[in-house]
A = this chain, B = another copy of it.
Amino acid sequence: MVPIGIDDPDDPRVAAYLDIRERDLVGRQGRFIAEGKVVLDMLLSGLRFSAESVLVLENRLAGLADTLRKAPAGLPVFVVAAEVMDRIAGFHMHRGILAIGLKGTDLPAEALLDTLPARALVVVAIGIANHDNMGSIFRNAAAFGADAVLMDDTCCDPLYRKAIRVSVGAALKVPFASFTGTAGFTATLVRHGFEQFALSPRGQTDIRQAKGAERLALYLGTEGEGLPENLLARLHTVRITMSAGFDSLNVAAASAIALHHFSQRGR
C-alpha cells in the first residue's frame, strides 16, 4: 500500500468525498461513505462490499496499519492534512478516517432468502425511516446473530452515512435486501418455512412466553403508527409488557429485547 498525498481539496481523485453532508441527501450513484476505524475495518474485511478508496488524516495513518493490511492491492489510500480534510468534507472531520464503498448490485429479497441456512432468524423492517433506528436495528441484528434484514420499500437506506455509523459497521456485515408489497412478501416467507412474529404494543403473547422456531421472521414497525392491522392479523403478535402509563419504547430498544429473546440460545 503506497499512500497518495493530496494537497488540493479540488483534486479530482478525492471528488467522491466532496461535501459529504449535502451529498448524503441526494445519493451518490452506487457509492456509500464509511467513517471511522471500526467501520473501515469492517469494510476492508470484504464481507459484503468492496472499497473504492480511503481518505485519512496524515496523523491517523500509522494507527491504521493493521486495518489497511486487509485492503486489496492497489486500493488508493489518500492522505491529507487536517485543513485539507475539512475543506474536502465540508465540515470538521475529527475522526479523520473516511472511505468510499461500492454498493454493488441489489440482491432481490427472495434471492437472499434462498441463501439462508435451515435454522435462520431474520428481521423484517416495515417503514423504518429514521437512520438512527435503522443503524441500531442492524447493530442489534449483528449482536444477536440475525441472518438477514429484509426491508419494505418505505424504509430508509441502511448504507446512509449515519446509519452505518450508528450500526458500528453492522450494516456492512448483516445481509439485507428490499421488497415491494408486504402481503406478497409474507407469503414468500411462508413458502420458505418461516414462522412470522410481529412486535406490537397490542400483541397477543407476552414475548417472555413466545416460543421460537427453526426459521423465524421478526417484523418491526415504526413507533408512531406501528404495523398495519391487516398485516398483524396474518402474523403471531408479541408484546413487550411495560409499566402502566408509559407504554412507549423506542423501536431499537424493542428490537434488542426481541432479538435477544429469539436469538440462538432462546430458540
- The residues of A with any CB-CB pair to B shorter than 8 Å are 136, 139-140, 142-145, 168, 170, 173, 206, 208, 240-243, 246-250, 252-254, 256-257, 260, 263-266
Contacts and interface: CB of A to CB of B under 8 A. Distances in A.
19 contacts: A139-B248, A139-B249, A140-B249, A140-B253, A143-B242, A143-B246, A143-B249, A144-B243, A145-B242, A145-B243, A173-B246, A208-B266, A240-B260, A241-B263, A241-B265, A252-B252, A253-B253, A253-B256, A257-B257
A169 to B, nearest CB: 9
Copy number in the complex reads: 2
Candidate in A241, A247, A257, A260 with the most chain B CB atoms within 10 angstroms: A260
B253 A139 contact: yes
The 7 closest A-B pairs by CB, nearest first: A145-B243, A253-B256, A142-B246, A143-B242, A143-B249, A257-B260, A256-B256
A93 B249 CA distance: 25
A178 to B, nearest CB: 23
A175 to B, nearest CB: 14
A252 B249 CA distance: 11
